[in-house]
Homo-oligomer: A and B are copies of this chain.
């Protein structure tokens, strides 16, 4: 007989969304489970705090030791951060509790260890809600594409930065103005570092890399660049050339390594991912048999994320099964040496022959150019924008160092990857 006894660690936005999803759809959830979900305890920082969720007051505790894990079937972890969540989940797994978590940082940094421990103890660990809020990315990669090798992924995995870039593109706001609006609307934290520097997207990409490629990276190994230095000028030149700028998470499996990176990139306005605006997320996934599919939705929000947590809990209690497709882990190096076109914007002296000289230097390094925008403004200094053909980043950097040394070059302002 199943008791469906769960304890919940953390009762913030996602915890509230989880419990409220249960109350909203109690009849269908219990119908599928064959009985009620028994929430036996909720661990919180402040037991007395008012919460917008209807749970008996005596369920709350501030003491992990009070949780009675011996008589718990499943632990739902919605605290966020590595500690103390990591310590708590190891303790729960060792007591043979199943685990469902929405914690991206924990799964990115300690996922392999937790999954290994769950396997050892013969219990399940599910984490759909750790990436993409309520969009079923993990399930799709593991189960919906079980007959495929995933060869490539491209995603907008962070809603905050997508909101900021959308505002900059649509309303020609500066980065600072757009960030301010995002903060006012609750899409960005007071300290926006985790979002705007790409850490959040890199954690999510690390989790996806495990499921899609079977390669578990240290998040530190992921090439990461944030959006702080993206200027309105770059957005406008991009549009003029037929591109939008998005913070893209890219993953590609090569023969002997995987390439993983998070960075602002120019992408053709005709690509469906260029139409993913505001706080929405999307992930393109390419399977070697299936071809490309895309999943799209809000990548955050208490109800959306809470409903994904609930779906995981139901999977454990109804089927008690692992993902079909969990890849065998492979030991492959992570790097990002791949070829790519790049967008380069610089300021140069507005005098005859400058464009030619710079093009010559690119040529000396074997870098050919796809497009050039030169616009005289009748001033001493003029902007110059190049899009290169495929080039290795190191070689581009060497060429640009030489170019920046010339006395007719004022400054190299932007170097942005172009995705086709």
A residues with CB within 8 A of B? 17, 20-22, 24-25, 28-29, 31-32, 128, 134-136, 139-140, 143-149, 272, 275-276, 287-298, 301, 303-304, 306-308, 310-311, 314-315, 318-319, 321, 324-325, 327-328
In the assembled complex, the Cα of A287 lies from the Cα of B136 at a distance in Å of: 12
- Asked if B148 contacts A144 (CB within 8 A), the reply is no
- Tell me the smallest distance from the CB of A312 to a CB of chain B, in Å: 9
Could you tell me the distance in whole angstroms from the C-beta of A232 to the nearest C-beta in chain B? 22
Residue of B nearest to A297 (CB): B293
Contact indicator B149/A144 (Cβ below 8 Å): no
Q: Smallest CB–CB gap between A126 and chain B, Å?
A: 12
Additional pairs, 18, CB under 8 Å, beyond known A134-B290, A143-B311, A292-B297: A21-B148, A25-B147, A31-B328, A128-B144, A136-B140, A140-B140, A144-B311, A145-B311, A146-B314, A147-B314, A272-B275, A287-B307, A289-B303, A289-B304, A290-B297, A293-B297, A294-B294, A311-B324
Question: Oligomeric state, in number of copies?
Answer: 2
CB distance from A268 to the nearest CB of B (A): 12
In the bound assembly, the distance between CA atoms of A10 and B89 in angstroms comes to 50
Knowing A324-B32, A328-B31, the reply to whether A135 touches B289 (Cβ < 8 A) is: no
* 10 nearest CB pairs, A to B: A136-B144, A293-B297, A147-B310, A289-B307, A294-B296, A134-B290, A21-B289, A275-B275, A290-B307, A147-B311
| Complex-state Cα separation, A325 to B289, whole angstroms | 27
**Given A32-B324, A143-B143, A291-B134, are A296 and B314 also a contact pair (CB < 8 Å)?**
no
A148 vs chain B, min Cβ distance (A)? 6
Is there contact, CB below 8 Å, between B134 and A139? no
Instruction: List, in ascending order, chain B residues with CB within 8 A of A28's CB.
Output: 149, 327
Verify A290–B319 contact, CB threshold 8 A.
no
Q: Which residue in chain B gives the minimum CB-CB distance to A21?
A: B289
